[in-house]
Structure 1
Amino acid sequence: MKFATKAIHAGVYPDPTTGAIMTPIYQTSTYVQRSPGDHKGYEYSRTHNPTRTQLQDAVAALENGTHGLAFASGMAAIDCLIKLLQPGDEVISTNDLYGGTYRLFTKVFEPYGIKFHFVPMGDMSAVREKLSARTKLIWVETPTNPLLNVIDIRAAAEVAKEAGALLVVDNTFSTPYLQTPLDLGADVVMHSLTKYMGGHSDVVMGALVVKDDQLHERLRFLQNACGGTPGPQDCFLVLRGLKTLHLRMQRHCENGRAVAEYLRQHEKVEKVFWPGFENHPNHAVAAGQMRDFGGMISFVLKGDKQEDAVAVLERFKLFALAESLGGVESLCGHPATMTHASIPPEERRKAGLSDSLIRLSVGIEDAEDLIEDLAQAIG
């Protein structure tokens, strides 16, 4: 089944009671049993909910996995995953990653005795240097947030396999439309479904997808026991969003390319971060594992002054200054004070994240209008 067909049909089916073609919102907390333990597969909605079941199956199908698990947020999904670990275990993560992930790793789980190493993953030698018998998980975010570095998933999978560690890929920026990490050797795919998968800036949700039955059972136990599950209304909204994922992502990519090319030629722009450029340091890897290069772009103005970046952000008219990304509307942000403020300034700068960096989530509007907005904002 091709991707567009899967986006519309995979994992979902008409309601068996009424024939409704759209998955109903099963707004219920509990389910009647014929006799104790004799039920129709559903007992309590923290454990299972029919709307959530179809969403989980749909996301798993898109990622070419066999099991999906939905959570109340992307952070809840990561929280569940890290709870597979024990005190003394170690995690190797990219040093350029979402600030909320960094905060969860360092502020919540490090005090429980889990050690995290943050390294540049453009070269797997940096990962190998940190490997030890205690390495249980390698965390890859690609393209990275917000510097759009691309990490070779196949190479990371080889290293993880040698170490006997799980390889987890945050696929939020790419979505399965652009890359399917499980096909490249990853053990787990993580999503903030809030972003492109939902696609309309109206829901907060996360997901994990796996192929291994035993790993799924361990994660499903934690999902239920810890209870970070989404409600059926939110699941319905993401299911609706998935049906147009292929159409939206195609437009995000087209607009992203147009905006990136415009910014690269602008006399006031010093540098543009976008993996579609042939001079991007990881372009060859991106071209080998991605089907296109997405709608996320970051750039730095000449002079590299934070006050200049803030002035540009304040002048935008179509690009809305807001957290998050991946909606149909274009968004702009200042990672140093917004999405990545929880990362210490010295760590941000070490990773190459300038205080003047502007991040764009290019939406699906007319590209000409977006470029006009960029022109007037940058001046």
Structure 2
Amino acid sequence: MRRTITHIGEHALAPASLMMSYGFDPKLSEGAIKCPVFQSSTFVFESAAAGKSVMQLAYGLREREQAEDPALIYSRINNPALEILEDRLALWDKADRALVFASGMAAISTTVLSMARPGDAIVYTAPVYGGTDFLFDKLLPQFGIRCHPVHGDLGDAAMQQAVERARAGIGPGGRIAAIYAENPANPTNRLIDLAMLADLARSLDGQSGGRPKLLVDNTMLGPLWQQPLAHGADIVIYSLTKYVGGHSDLIAGSCVGSEADLAAISGFRTILGTMTDPHTAWLLLRSLETLSLRMRQAEASAWKVAEALGAHPKVAEVGFLGFVDPASEQGRIFARQCSGAGSTFSVFLHGGEAEAFRFLDALKLMKLAVSLGGTESLASYPAGMTHVDVAPEMQRAYGISDNLVRLSIGVEEPEDLIADCLQALDQV
């Protein structure tokens, strides 16, 4: 069940087309046109010698031979549906490899733990998703890993200063293990220049243990509207729960990158047991077939909803990427890195928490819930929900104000969503 056709003559097939067949041979599954759910914990070896050889490869005791297809062992290590899913996920970012995890946070934590050791430091752009912030601010310091947020001006000078602060605080033998960026930031939609971050990471190549890896959480725009590997990122992370899963019925995450960069992460995933299960992998294979359709429809609707909200007198500002000034630094980054504006954006109401609550409670079609990227439109209040654990002073520094509402636009008719938002604004 390995890679299949990718070209017709000289014509390269697009990822959206390859999602229907790549990596799966129906002949190996009784002619089934779709990959079955391989609900099996373990797999049979052809012989004792073959079992030994397979296990040696899995534990890095021998090199993989040219054109060798690693045999199946155990679903904590590999599973047919998981392998096909990873093959297909790697296509969108033109990556060597992908790894799939039980959640977006499992992908982030496993990746970071494979790189950072006590005494090391991580520099990250803020704001980030609330769970990521908790990991960096509360959990990793318990293991002697210091994490340094950078907010406000995210230009080259500010990032250089953050790196110097981090270097000053590392322990004996420590290093800067990673530079981490969530791009665009959740929930402000702030963009950062990924090529600049890649240059910064490369400038630290002389440190003991080699340069830090550039990790980019691409959940908000990817994989359709942004490909960070093309701009110098080493590893791209996704919450597959969001746009890729797209139906609010599963939890999963992934990272993509080079074979070399993902090798250590794969080993940690095997031992920590943070992989996803066969049924979730099968659901994600289903979702990948409509990913392009869903994301394109949602973005087209988001433009219309954002424009209607931006024209309303009770709305102070709409933080939609399609509205960034092309002449501004944010506009230049958007033009360079992004091919679409996405469908999740912030709305700043005139007033504060009371006005935001009245708006949210008055919505009828949109659902009040955390998460984003599903077929249904969702509304949330970051200051009191996804980022409630972030200290108030840091919320203010990050731009997470008490009048900010985050909307994730789904695939409903945009005119219906606009009607819902306008009637809710009448209650503000």
On whether the aligned pair clears a TM of 0.5, the verdict is: yes
SS in 1 for 2:100: strand
Partner of 2:155: 123
Q: Does 1:112 align with 2:112?
A: no
Q: Give, in whole Å, the separation in 2 of the partners of 1:131 and 1:23.
A: 46
Confirm or deny: 8 A CA contact 2:15 2:91 kept in the other structure. Answer: no
Q: Give, in whole Å, the separation in 2 of the partners of 1:166 and 1:98.
A: 20
Shift of 1:143: 1.1
Confirm or deny: 8 A CA contact 2:124 2:149 kept in the other structure. Answer: yes
Instruction: Assess, with a 3 A threshold, how the Cα gap between structure 1 residues 63 and 12 changes in structure 2: closer, same or farther.
Output: farther
Q: For 1:248-327, what aligned pairs fall within 5 Å after superposition?
A: 248-279=294-325, 282-303=330-351, 305-327=352-374
Shift of 1:281: 5.6
Q: Structure 1 unaligned segments of length 5 or more: list them.
A: none
How big is each residue's C-alpha offset from its partner over 1:49-73, in whole Å with a ceiling of 9 and x where there is no partner?
A: 1111111111111111011110000
Q: Give, in whole Å, the separation in 1 of the partners of 2:229 and 2:250.
A: 25
Q: Give, in whole Å, the separation in 2 of the partners of 1:197 and 1:62.
A: 11
Q: Give, in whole Å, the separation in 2 of the partners of 1:160 and 1:262.
A: 41
Q: Does 1:42 align with 2:72?
A: yes
Amino acid at match of 1:287: A
Q: Give, in whole Å, the separation in 1 of the partners of 2:245 and 2:339.
A: 20
Shift of 1:37: 5.2
Q: Does 1:86 align with 2:112?
A: no
Q: Give, in whole Å, the separation in 2 of the partners of 1:51 and 1:15.
A: 15
Please, which of 79, 82, 92 is the counterpart of residue 62 of structure 1?
A: 92
Please, which of 30, 40, 48 is the counterpart of residue 42 of structure 2?
A: 30
Question: Which sits farther off after the overlay, 87-96 or 132-141?
Answer: 132-141
Instruction: Assess, with a 3 A threshold, how the Cα gap between structure 1 residues 62 and 10 changes in structure 2: closer, same or farther.
Output: farther
Instruction: Assess, with a 3 A threshold, how the Cα gap between structure 1 residues 36 and 335 changes in structure 2: closer, same or farther.
Output: same
Q: Give, in whole Å, the separation in 1 of the partners of 2:280 and 2:149.
A: 33
Instruction: Assess, with a 3 A threshold, how the Cα gap between structure 1 residues 126 and 12 changes in structure 2: closer, same or farther.
Output: farther
Confirm or deny: 8 A CA contact 1:3 1:246 kept in the other structure. Answer: no
Q: Give, in whole Å, the separation in 2 of the partners of 1:69 and 1:15.
A: 25
Partner of 1:140: 181
Q: Give, in whole Å, the separation in 2 of the partners of 1:80 and 1:254.
A: 35
Please, which of 84, 102, 105 is the counterpart of residue 72 of structure 1?
A: 102
Shift of 1:15: 5.5
Q: For 1:173-252, what aligned pairs fall within 5 Å after superposition?
A: 173-211=220-258, 213-252=259-298
Please say which structure displays the higher CA radius of gyration. Answer: 2
TM-score by length of 1: 0.96
Q: Give, in whole Å, the separation in 2 of the partners of 1:273 and 1:19.
A: 49
Instruction: Assess, with a 3 A threshold, how the Cα gap between structure 1 residues 37 and 350 changes in structure 2: closer, same or farther.
Output: farther
Amino acid at match of 2:340: D
Amino acid at match of 2:131: G
Q: Give, in whole Å, the separation in 2 of the partners of 1:289 and 1:309.
A: 32
Confirm or deny: 8 A CA contact 1:46 1:229 kept in the other structure. Answer: yes
Q: Give, in whole Å, the separation in 2 of the partners of 1:338 and 1:9.
A: 39
Q: RMSD of aligned C-alpha atoms?
A: 1.5
Amino acid at match of 2:331: H
Amino acid at match of 1:344: A
Amino acid at match of 1:105: F
Please, which of 132, 135, 148 is the counterpart of residue 101 of structure 1?
A: 132
Count of aligned residue pairs for this structure pair: 377
Q: Give, in whole Å, the separation in 2 of the partners of 1:180 and 1:285.
A: 13
How big is each residue's C-alpha offset from its partner over 1:228-278, in whole Å with a ceiling of 9 and x where there is no partner?
A: 111111111111111111111111111111111111111000111111113
Please, which of 214, 238, 246 is the counterpart of residue 167 of structure 1?
A: 214
SS in 2 for 1:175: coil
Q: Give, in whole Å, the separation in 1 of the partners of 2:25 and 2:183.
A: 32
Q: Structure 2 unaligned segments of length 5 or more: list them.
A: 1-12, 52-69, 168-174, 205-210
Please, which of 18, 30, 35 is the counterpart of residue 18 of structure 1?
A: 30
Q: Give, in whole Å, the separation in 2 of the partners of 1:150 and 1:30.
A: 44
SS in 1 for 2:310: helix
SS in 2 for 1:38: helix
The sequence identity of aligned pairs, in percent, is 38
How big is each residue's C-alpha offset from its partner over 1:55-92, in whole Å with a ceiling of 9 and x where there is no partner?
A: 11111111110111100000001111111211111111
Write out the 4+ residue segments of structure 1 that deviate beyond 4 Å after TM superposition: none
Partner of 2:83: 53
SS in 1 for 2:384: coil
Q: Give, in whole Å, the separation in 2 of the partners of 1:43 and 1:222.
A: 17
How big is each residue's C-alpha offset from its partner over 1:322-378, in whole Å with a ceiling of 9 and x where there is no partner?
A: 111000110000011111112111111111110221000011111100000000011
Confirm or deny: 8 A CA contact 1:348 1:354 kept in the other structure. Answer: yes
Amino acid at match of 2:289: K
Q: Give, in whole Å, the separation in 1 of the partners of 2:311 and 2:329.
A: 19
Confirm or deny: 8 A CA contact 2:154 2:192 kept in the other structure. Answer: yes
Q: Give, in whole Å, the separation in 2 of the partners of 1:74 and 1:312.
A: 29
Confirm or deny: 8 A CA contact 1:92 1:117 kept in the other structure. Answer: yes
Amino acid at match of 1:126: A
Confirm or deny: 8 A CA contact 2:225 2:339 kept in the other structure. Answer: yes
Confirm or deny: 8 A CA contact 1:188 1:210 kept in the other structure. Answer: yes
Amino acid at match of 1:284: R
SS in 1 for 2:17: helix
Q: Give, in whole Å, the separation in 1 of the partners of 2:399 and 2:310.
A: 19
Question: Which sits farther off after the overlay, 40-49 or 319-328?
Answer: 40-49
Q: Give, in whole Å, the separation in 2 of the partners of 1:128 and 1:8.
A: 44
Q: Give, in whole Å, the separation in 2 of the partners of 1:273 and 1:89.
A: 35
Question: Which sits farther off after the overlay, 335-344 or 275-284?
Answer: 275-284
Question: Which sits farther off after the overlay, 250-259 or 196-205?
Answer: 250-259
